[in-house]
Amino acid sequence: MPFTPRALALPATVPFVGPEALERRFGRPFVARLGANESVFGPSPKVAEAMARAAAESWAYGDPEHHDLKAAIAAHHGLTPENIVVGEGIDGLLGLLVQLTIDPGDAVVTSLGAYPTFNYHVNGRGGRLDFVPYRDDREDPEALAARAQEIRPKLIYFANPDNPTGSRHDRQTVERLMEGVPDGSILVLDEAYADLAPAEALPEMSRLDPKVLRFRTFSKAYGMAGVRVAYAVGTPETTRHFDKVRNHFGVSRMAQAGALAALGDQGFLSETVGRIAAARDRLAEIARENGLTPLPSATNFVAIDCGRDGAFARAVLDGVLARGVFIRMPGVAPLDRLIRVTVGRDREMDLFAQALAGSLRDLAGA
Amino acid sequence: MPFTPRALALPATVPFVGPEALERRFGRPFVARLGANESVFGPSPKVAEAMARAAAESWAYGDPEHHDLKAAIAAHHGLTPENIVVGEGIDGLLGLLVQLTIDPGDAVVTSLGAYPTFNYHVNGRGGRLDFVPYRDDREDPEALAARAQEIRPKLIYFANPDNPTGSRHDRQTVERLMEGVPDGSILVLDEAYADLAPAEALPEMSRLDPKVLRFRTFSKAYGMAGVRVAYAVGTPETTRHFDKVRNHFGVSRMAQAGALAALGDQGFLSETVGRIAAARDRLAEIARENGLTPLPSATNFVAIDCGRDGAFARAVLDGVLARGVFIRMPGVAPLDRLIRVTVGRDREMDLFAQALAGSLRDLAGA
């Protein structure tokens, strides 16, 4: 077979098992879907209208240059279209970046327990992952910077706010990390949850650096996870390389139109951010009512410390799943003390509260 | 910078300039869009309905396992879901296949003038392209097979029906090519236009071989180019590797729902195929009326031989573009005697007829 030895050696495991696969396994649908950090509040009605119009035109390929969308994103951030790369979700953009930078054996630094899909892409191209531990349930930017100086990796991954903990650092800390990127490295600043973070967590977008790429998405606060559209922000000397390898017609006509409409309805975004913040407080309250500790969150989910080991958190999670509520948990210690719950509407929060109480009750009785 | 030397050396050119980019250059929209082999007849109304429903659910990621769509595709072909890989268009699937098989320097055989996006992916991973010439404006399967025996490439690309000529071979010829694939090679059988070809052009789908992958799409006859969904068919020992590198959430919720609905409306597909065949005859007639030679076509486009060199065909094409009708042409001799025109409705065929006559009149007077 002509597959490369690297491809043959790759594991068949996937970064995330979808809730649909679990539903098929359980033989029934979930009553609440709170495990994938999607936004049950959905996109703006204007997005729905724009996508419906685009659907009628979807006999035609979307604009491979993403001209209008890039212009709108650039204007939104006070940048130029040359600073923007649009792609099929942050996952798709991360895959392209890894393709552009990683030869087999090249080093990459990330945090132990951070975004598994980034690792998946690095492994897929034969990169060598180097892990820095979390510190007090947050990424440790100083340790990442120090490790980067030491091993001079091609890529340094840092999410702010972070998934799966929900934590965030402040602007000054992130800026120090940006300034300390060694020559020959790129800082992958994953800001999927930026729209949900307080302003003081985020460096100004005007602060461009050829050694930094920032990733934003329409999947989280904008409520468009199933549509598949995201973007990277950087200097033209970095962004231009994506044009050499990307799937030019890969971003659908509906995705481009929907993202454009989403950007144009910042009022809806503000409302959603408010609703998510309120639901986050509710979720933290539910955790406390059950004797568990919610971690502070600057995202649309709350990581809940179950207070014991990974086996216990897994048991709590299994009990919640068995009650029809889809949630997830980190796979790596010490983060595997946590379960991760996406915020929902009142109805979903109620269902989670019942499921969590039931699961803990079962475990107490066991 | 951390980009690989290969990435830095890649050209900034793209496989296809989009019609939107040409419109921006000309400063006005095209009156007819006949250059990208899209289907102006669009998708089934049932697809539109299914996508509208899916749009309302697009706050959630699509099923990363594509369970329902794979099951439906498998049933459609009398196969099992393990034979099917779903991806973001054939372009996306070709990129994955190249990632799985090509290390820098690995050989790939294709025809000189065949699908440029395949070559783009091979170049993007440092593969070494080896070209076999077309013969009488068709791919030359015997020469491809002979060349494959000689250099033992990782991949052999063959499109049936072919783009950009519109030609097709018969089942027996394709089967001989399938049987002659050397060990260590995979035949990339691009059947994007299969739904438009006569049955005698296509090997049975039940004829599976670990050394053959067949690619089908919803972009052409199904009229869903802007939606981005296609699939590959092969044996599990070949298809399973895609799971190791694909963008698991890359196929949007709307794309999965739309493709499922499209498969379910074979009546609409038959009607469309009939309309395309009629329009193809009309297009051939237009070519002949203008003293040019249409090539036989088993696709949704007609390649028209302008009868002279590439510079002349380019001038004919420029005159058609200047009249607001978007068409394309192959970039490589001797195929660059051709212009390639996608079929349209009567209105678009009339506009093309006028534009072609006008362009030729200008050239005759020049």
- What is the arithmetic mean of pLDDT over A316-343? 97
> What integer pLDDT is reported at residue B106 of this predicted model?
97
How many other C-beta atoms lie within 10 A of the C-beta of residue B77? Answer: 17
Nearest to B60 among A1, A56, A225 (CB): A225
Taking the Cβ of residue A209 and every Cβ of chain B, the question of whether any pair is shorter than 8 Å is answered with no
C-alpha span between A355 and A35 (Å, rounded): 14
Instruction: Count CA atoms closer than 13 A to A171's CA, side-chain side.
Output: 9
Nearest to B124 among A52, A228, A244 (CB): A244
Give DSSP secondary structure letters for A239-287.
HGGGGGTS-TT-S-HHHHHHHHHHHT-HHHHHHHHHHHHHHHHHHHHHH
Answer whether A165's CB lies under 8 Å from A137's CB: yes
- Residue-wise pLDDT tens digits, A288-314: 999 999 999 999 999 999 999 999 999
- What is the arithmetic mean of pLDDT over B336-352? 98
C-alpha span between B35 and B21 (Å, rounded): 13
C-alpha span between B24 and A65 (Å, rounded): 11
More confident residue, B365 or A205: A205
Residue A207 binned pLDDT confidence (cut-offs 50, 70, 90): very high
> What integer pLDDT is reported at residue B365 of this predicted model?
86
Rounded percentage of chain B residues whose pLDDT exceeds 90: 98
C-alpha span between B361 and B323 (Å, rounded): 13
C-alpha span between A182 and A189 (Å, rounded): 15
Rounded percentage of chain B residues whose pLDDT exceeds 70: 100
> What integer pLDDT is reported at residue B308 of this predicted model?
97
C-alpha span between A250 and B93 (Å, rounded): 11
- Best B121, B252, B268, B272 member to test A by mutation, with max A CBs in 10 Å, is B252
> What integer pLDDT is reported at residue B14 of this predicted model?
80
Q: Which amino acid is at B214?
A: R
The Cα of A223 is separated from the nearest Cα of chain B by a number of Å equal to: 5
Taking the Cβ of residue A152 and every Cβ of chain B, the question of whether any pair is shorter than 8 Å is answered with no
Q: Report the top-level CATH class of B5-42+267-365.
A: alpha beta
Answer whether A31's CB lies under 8 Å from B48's CB: no
For chain A, give every domain's residue range. 5-42+267-365, 45-265
C-alpha span between A137 and A27 (Å, rounded): 35
Bridge partners, residue B155, by sequence: B108, B186
- Residue-wise pLDDT tens digits, B141-197: 999 999 999 999 999 999 999 999 999 999 999 999 999 999 999 999 999 999 999
> What integer pLDDT is reported at residue B157 of this predicted model?
98
Nearest to A92 among B12, B57, B250 (CB): B250
Helix ranges, A40-155 (H): 45-56, 67-77, 89-101, 116-124, 141-151
C-alpha span between A310 and A318 (Å, rounded): 12
> What integer pLDDT is reported at residue A12 of this predicted model?
85
Q: A64–B39: do the CB atoms touch at under 8 Å?
A: no
**Integer angstrom CA distances of residue B181 from A185, A212, B130, B194, B349:** 42, 45, 16, 21, 41
- The answer to whether residue B290 scores a pLDDT higher than 80 is yes
Residue ranges with strand state E in chain A: 32-33, 84-87, 107-111, 128-132, 155-159, 186-190, 212-217, 230-233, 293-294, 301-305, 325-326, 338-342
The Cα of A136 is separated from the nearest Cα of chain B by a number of Å equal to: 31
Helix A253-263 crosses helix A67-77 at what angle (to 10 degrees)?
20
Nearest to A12 among B20, B244, B247 (CB): B244
> What integer pLDDT is reported at residue B302 of this predicted model?
98
Q: Any idea what the Cα angle at residue B151 is, between residues B148 and B155, rounded to 5°?
A: 55
Q: A99–B101: do the CB atoms touch at under 8 Å?
A: no
- Residue-wise pLDDT tens digits, A91-139: 999 999 999 999 999 999 999 999 999 999 999 999 999 999 999 999 9
Answer whether B9's CB lies under 8 Å from B123's CB: no
Fold classification of A45-265 is Aspartate Aminotransferase; domain 2 (3.40.640)
Q: A237–B95: do the CB atoms touch at under 8 Å?
A: no
- Residue-wise pLDDT tens digits, B102-155: 999 999 999 999 999 999 999 999 999 999 999 999 999 999 999 999 999 999
C-alpha span between A64 and B228 (Å, rounded): 12
Could you give the 3-state DSSP secondary structure of residue A107? strand
Give DSSP secondary structure letters for B111-132.
ETTS-HHHHHHHHHTT-EEEEE
Mean pLDDT score across all residues of chain B: 97
- The answer to whether residue B16 scores a pLDDT higher than 90 is no
Phi, psi values for residue B255, rounded to 5°: -65, -45
Cis preceding-peptide flag for B64 (omega within 30 of 0):
no
For chain B, counts of helices (H) and of strands (E): 13, 12
Residue B20 binned pLDDT confidence (cut-offs 50, 70, 90): very high
The Cα of B73 is separated from the nearest Cα of chain A by a number of Å equal to: 18
Taking the Cβ of residue B237 and every Cβ of chain A, the question of whether any pair is shorter than 8 Å is answered with yes
- What is the arithmetic mean of pLDDT over A30-36? 97
Q: Which residue of A has its CA nearest to B244?
A: A12
